[in-house]
A = this chain, B = another copy of it.
C-alpha cells in the first residue's frame, strides 16, 4: 500500500536502517552475508528511494563547472547560459553550486585557459561544449583520471564516453532542411549551402548538416535533378563576404534556396535586402534575435531550433540526477529538431521550451 522505506527493509532483514543505507550506497563495512540478504529484500519489495528525503537529509555540497562559449563573442551562447542558470537556480536547494567558465568560441587558446580554470576549481561534475576537438582531449583524460563526470552538449564527441551527451543531431537537421526545400519546390531547385562563420571552427558540425541535406536528395532519388552549390564564407572581412556573395549570385541566377548551416542566416537576409533579392528562400539555424527579426519579416522562411536553452538546462540536470539523486541517466539525449517559422515562433521563445516536453 504505502511506499517501502529503508526502515521496512531494515525490519525485514533484521538489521538497522544504517546498515541498509550502507548497502544502498555501497559504503562498505557490511558483511557479505548481510549485504546479500539486504539486496535480495530490496529487490523483492522493489524499494524506490524517496528523493525528497534524500535531498533533505544529505549534507554534501556539490560544485559544478559549466564551460561554455561567451555570449559576448557570439549571441548564440545566451540561451545555453540561461538554461544553465535556470537549472542552477532550481538545484540550489539541493546544495548545488554552478560556476560558469566562458571562453571565446573563436579562440582555442581561450578554451584551454578556461578549461584549466574549471579543472582547478575541482568540481564534482562538469558540463561543457567541447568545441575544439584537439584541445579538449587532454582534459577528458585528466577528468577521467580524477573521476570527475562530465556531460557534453552542443558538440558530440563519443570517444571518451562522457556521462551523457545532450544535443542536436546535426546530420538529421540537414535532412529536415532537405525536406523543407523539397517541399517548397517539388520541381528541381537549386540550393546554396552556406557555411558562414567568423572562424572555421567546429566544422565537423557543419559538414554533418551538409551531408544530411545532400543525402536527403540521394535517398529520395532526386540528386541528379538538384543543383547544390557550396560556399564557405568568412565574416571577419565583411567587404570580402559581400564580394563573394555577389560572385555567387551573379553567376548562379537560378538559385532558389539558401541553407545556412550556422546561426548567421540573418547575414544572408540582410544581404538580400540590400540587393533587393526577394525570390530566394532562406533556411537557417537558431532563434537568435537577428534571425528572429528576419523570420518575422518573412525574409527567413524557417529556422531549425536546437533548443540551446534546453541543452544547458538538461545538461546541468543530468549532473544533478546523477550525483545528487544518484538516478540512472541516459547516455545520450537528443533534443527535438524544431521547425520554427513566424507562425509558431511564440511557443519556442520562452519557458515553454522547458516545460512542454518529456
Contact = CB atoms under 8 A, between A and B. Distances in A.
A53 B337 CA distance: 37
B301 A183 contact: yes
Contact count band on A: 35 or more
A179 B342 contact: yes
Given A338-B336, A338-B338, A347-B336, A356 B307 contact: yes
Contact of A357 (B93, B281, B343, B355): B355
B347 A335 contact: yes
A3 interface: yes
B341 A339 contact: yes
A44 to B, nearest CB: 19
A206 to B, nearest CB: 18
Question: In terms of DSSP, what is the predominant structure of the interface of chain A?
Answer: helix
Given A183-B184, A216-B343, A339-B339, A356 B52 contact: no
A347 B307 CA distance: 12
Interface string A27-67: 00000000000000000000000111101100000000000
Given A356-B353, A356-B357, A357-B356, A343 B307 contact: no
Given A3-B92, A52-B93, A179-B342, A358 B355 contact: yes
Copy number in this complex? 2
A101 interface: no
Contact of A358 (B56, B92, B354): B354
A164 interface: no
Residue among A176, A310, A347, A356 with most chain B CB within 10 A = A356
Nearest to A344: B337
22 contacts: A51-B52, A52-B56, A169-B347, A175-B343, A179-B342, A310-B357, A313-B358, A314-B355, A334-B352, A336-B347, A336-B352, A336-B356, A337-B343, A337-B347, A350-B358, A351-B358, A353-B356, A353-B357, A354-B357, A355-B358, A356-B357, A356-B358
